[in-house]
């Protein structure tokens, strides 16, 4: 930190490539009534951050700013310590170790930020380091899809090596589902280690040719489609994806199937981040969920972190160590 009233933050003034991000000294925020201030120890760079930096897809700018970003600092995932309580806050104490999400405001790529005390924040399980607690974003998106699974159902997860995919495998297993993971050669052991019952190497075999049908087919990386995966989907089952799909097919098909009542294609939108974080903390405490981490960068290396994530080849989570 640069002074008693200043902090370091990664600032974005316009949409564009990672080089548009600059590390600047900005005022430390003060919590308003009902807010807590968090001293950040770790954050992440993820697909949501890189897409928001680019202003992609364009319609998302209705929320993030049409011509320039409304939110000058990105970063959705955080882990840190409660620093200051705003007026009227109860249930938190300075020094509480917390992790959580900033899905509406971003801001974790900074040394401090403020968040409503009843926002998407939860206590870090005892003994878990800060840099291993920044697991919320990928798991939250994965949960929006895997929560539809029931015990003894089956699912196929395409792209089970990224932040969303590795979380989806673990959350599906926690619900008692049977999981088939589709990954490349270098991630076969990883998929097995996090609980996948069957692992398919898409580099050596056609995963669509597997002699099996599933209650859920989940594209966790946005690189396949309902059309390609139709042979894998049970009658009345669902194909879900984290991306718009080729020619926005996932959105269009999702709207069509919703109108017809079949709901066979969906791009799930996560909800109740606070409630999910409490459940996730419980799973982590029990050893039923753990983050999978690729590499870490210092806050001063935030541009390099964005460049790496934009390559689309990361394994699990990319951490930004703010402190």
Q: Are strands 214-219 and 154-158 parallel, antiparallel or unpaired?
A: parallel
Q: Give the whole-angstrom CA distance, residue 227 versus residue 311.
A: 26
Give the residue numbers spanning the domain of 38.
6-135+291-321
Nearest to 90 by CA among 36, 30, 29: 36
What band does 124 get if pLDDT is binned at 50, 70 and 90?
Answer: very high
Domain match, 175 and 242 both: yes
pTM for this prediction: 0.92
Residue 242 — pLDDT band, cuts 50, 70, 90?
A: confident
What is the rounded distance in angstroms from the CA atom of residue 224 to the CA atom of residue 229?
8
Q: What's the pLDDT score for residue 266?
A: 73
Preceding amide of 57 cis, omega within 30: yes
Whether residue 141 has pLDDT greater than 50: yes
Give one DSSP letter per residue of 191-258, joined into a string: HHHTT-SEEEETTTS-GGGSS--EEEEEESSS-S-HHHHGGGEEEEEEEEESS--GGGHHHHHHHHHH
Q: How many domains does the chain have?
A: 2
Position 213 in a domain? yes
- Check whether residue 18 and residue 130 sit in a common domain: yes
- Judged by average pLDDT, the poorest of 25-29, 129-133, 227-231 is 227-231
The pair of three-digit structure tokens given for residue 279, joined into one six-digit string = 């459940």
pLDDT on residue 38: 98
For the segment 58-65, the average pLDDT, to the nearest whole number, is: 81
292, 316 Cβ separation under 8 angstroms = yes
Same domain, yes or no: 236 and 313: no
In a domain, 279, yes or no: no
Angstrom CA distances, 196 to 142, 213, 255, stand at 15, 16, 31
Q: Are residues 33 and 55 in the same domain?
A: yes
pLDDT band at 199 (very low <50, low <70, confident <90, very high): very high
Q: Does 153 lie in the same domain as 255?
A: yes
In 3D, which of 3, 283, 292, 259 has the Cα closest to residue 122?
A: 283
Is the same domain home to 93 and 214?
no
Burial track 93-106 (b if 16+ CB lie within 10 A, e otherwise)? eeebbbbbbbbebb
Is 277 among the domain residues?
no
Q: What is the mean pLDDT of the chain?
A: 92
Based on the number of CB atoms within 10 Å of its own CB, is 235 exposed (0-12), middle (13-18) or buried (19 or more)?
Answer: exposed
- With respect to residue 157, please indicate whether it lies within any of the assigned structural domains: yes
Residue 257 pLDDT grade (very low, low, confident, very high; cuts 50, 70, 90)? low
CATH number at residue 110: 3.90.180.10
Please, what is the Cα angle at 219 between 213 and 222, to 5 degrees? 150
Strands 35-45 and 112-116: antiparallel
Q: Which of these ranges, 32-36, 117-121, 167-171, 269-273, has the smallest mean pLDDT?
A: 269-273
Q: Are residues 79 and 198 in the same domain?
A: no
Check whether residue 11 and residue 130 sit in a common domain: yes
Residue 1 has pLDDT above 90, yes or no: no
Report the pLDDT averaged over residues 109-120.
Answer: 97
Task: Give per-residue pLDDT as tens, 155-186.
Answer: 999 999 999 999 999 999 999 999 999 999 99
In a domain, 230, yes or no: yes
Band of pLDDT at residue 25, cut at 50, 70 and 90: very high
Strand, helix or coil at 110? Answer: strand
Residues 230 and 301 in one domain: no
Note the pLDDT of residue 227: 86
pLDDT at 149 > cutoff 50: yes
d(CA 317, CA 295): 7
pLDDT band at 64 (very low <50, low <70, confident <90, very high): confident
Same domain, residue pair 169 and 209: yes
Q: Is the pLDDT of residue 289 over 50?
A: yes
Within-domain flag for 274:
no
Instruction: Return the DSSP state at 134.
Output: -
Q: What is the CATH number of the domain that holds 209?
A: 3.40.50.720
Binned at pLDDT 50, 70 and 90, residue 244 comes out as low
Are 225 and 247 in the same domain?
Answer: yes
Co-location of 123 and 23 in the same domain: yes
* Average pLDDT of span 62-73: 88
Q: Is residue 273 a part of any domain in this protein? A: no
Instruction: Note whether residue 275 is domain-resident.
Output: no
Mean per-residue pLDDT, 291-311: 97
pLDDT grade for 249, boundaries at 50, 70 and 90:
low
């Amino acid at each position: 930190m640069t002074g008693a009233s200043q902090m370091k933050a990664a600032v974005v003034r316009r949409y564009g490539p990672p080089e548009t991000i600059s590390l600047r000294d900005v005022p430390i925020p003060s919590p308003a009534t009902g807010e807590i201030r968090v001293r950040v120890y770790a954050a992440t760079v993820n697909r949501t951050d890189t897409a928001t930096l680019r202003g992609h897809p364009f319609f998302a700018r209705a929320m993030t700013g049409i011509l320039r970003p409304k939110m000058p600092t990105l970063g959705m995932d955080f882990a840190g310590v409660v620093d200051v309580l705003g007026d009227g806050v109860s249930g938190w104490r300075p020094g509480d170790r917390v992790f959580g999400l900033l899905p509406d405001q971003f801001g974790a790529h900074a040394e401090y930020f403020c968040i409503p005390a009843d926002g998407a924040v939860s206590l870090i399980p005892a003994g878990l380091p800060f840099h291993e607690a920044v697991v919320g974003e990928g798991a939250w998106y994965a949960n929006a899809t895997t929560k539809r699974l029931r015990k003894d159902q089956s699912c196929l997860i395409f792209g089970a090596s990224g932040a969303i995919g590795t979380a989806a495998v673990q959350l599906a297993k926690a619900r008692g589902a049977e999981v088939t993971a589709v990954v490349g050669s270098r991630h076969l052991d990883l998929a097995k280690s996090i609980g996948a019952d069957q692992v398919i190497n898409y580099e050596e075999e056609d995963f669509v040719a597997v002699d099996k049908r599933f209650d859920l087919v989940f594209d966790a990386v946005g690189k396949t489609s309902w059309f390609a995966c139709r042979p894998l989907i049970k009658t009345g089952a669902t194909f879900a994806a984290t991306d718009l799909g080729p020619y926005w097919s996932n959105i269009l098909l999702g709207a069509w199937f919703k109108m017809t009542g079949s709901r066979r294609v969906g791009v799930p939108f996560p909800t109740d981040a606070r409630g999910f974080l409490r459940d996730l903390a419980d799973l982590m405490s029990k050893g039923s969920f753990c983050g999978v981490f690729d590499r870490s960068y210092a806050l001063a290396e935030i541009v390099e972190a964005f460049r790496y994530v934009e390559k689309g080849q990361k394994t699990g989570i990319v951490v930004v160590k703010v402190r």
